[in-house]
Structure 1
């Protein structure tokens, strides 16, 4: 099963603050919903164990996550691979980091997930809604943390 998502977040922080945030694996990991554990390996690689509940499939999935920042292109790409319960999830997500010129930044994001195994058989609508919620919540969490860190 292949799913695609796009969205946009407005951040009340200058683009330099956004780049500092999204290049820190600990800060990025803190934006993932339902994270149980995080193990940072270096500046671009970390593992995360996430609590998952999609229909009858409940438990923890383990993911290997790679951050691929490209400030020159104004883009951050994230590759996520892993799964659990015999299911496999491969996700490529990214965001164009747009400097609005007024100490605010826009994250134009998109992602494509491929899922195989029991999680993919739960049902298209249930899986699609849950995946959309998780991806949207991750970017919303990132925007909220950046907004909170920026003085008014």
Structure 2
């Protein structure tokens, strides 16, 4: 399933770049995120809970930054599973930042997500709706944290 979107933040590109790599901020912005720890300069471990339809799941995820070009592009891979391997998720991700004419930043994202197991049984429509809901919550929280702090 492909997920893509874009939004603007009223903060300069360099500041947004710093914040997208800040685990302390990301744990506050990602819906259902319980913890994020930096394993090394290019990898993070996260625990994320999500509810899809009647099923609640808690994922142990590893996010690996495959490449980055500061301050505008991060290419990463996310993979993980529920503790019982009841569901397995993987995602190839691209995040792009570009300055706006007003001094803010346009943030674009793309993810190619694969889900197997008990959550994989749900149809594409349910996953897309849930992904869109989670993205909306992230965008609003991230934007608020950066713009209020400025």
TM-score range, shorter chain: 0.7 to 0.9
* Distance in 1 separating the partners of 2:30 and 2:143: 12
Structure 1: gaps spanning 5 or more residues? none
Deviates more, 1:137-146 or 1:51-60: 137-146
Structure 2: gaps spanning 5 or more residues? none
> 2:21 is matched with which residue: 20, 23, 30?
23
Question: Which aligned pairs between 1:2-81 and structure 2 lie closer than 5 A?
Answer: 3-67=1-65, 68-71=67-70, 74-81=72-79
Q: Give per-residue Cα distances to partners, 1:55-103, cap 9 Å, x unaligned.
A: 232131111112343116x212232100214211111222221111432
**TM-score, scaled relative to structure 2:** 0.85
Is 1:106 paired with 2:106?
yes
Contact 2:61–2:80, Cα closer than 8 Å, also in 1: yes
Root mean square deviation, CA, Å: 1.9
Counterpart of 1:145 in structure 2 is: 145
Runs of 4+ in structure 1 off by over 3 angstroms are none
Counterpart of 2:131 in structure 1 is: 131
- 125 and 81 in structure 1: CA distance in 2 versus 1, 3 angstrom threshold: same
* Distance in 1 separating the partners of 2:68 and 2:97: 10
Report the CA distance between 1:12 and its aligned residue.
0.5
* Distance in 1 separating the partners of 2:2 and 2:23: 24
Report the CA distance between 1:28 and its aligned residue.
2.7
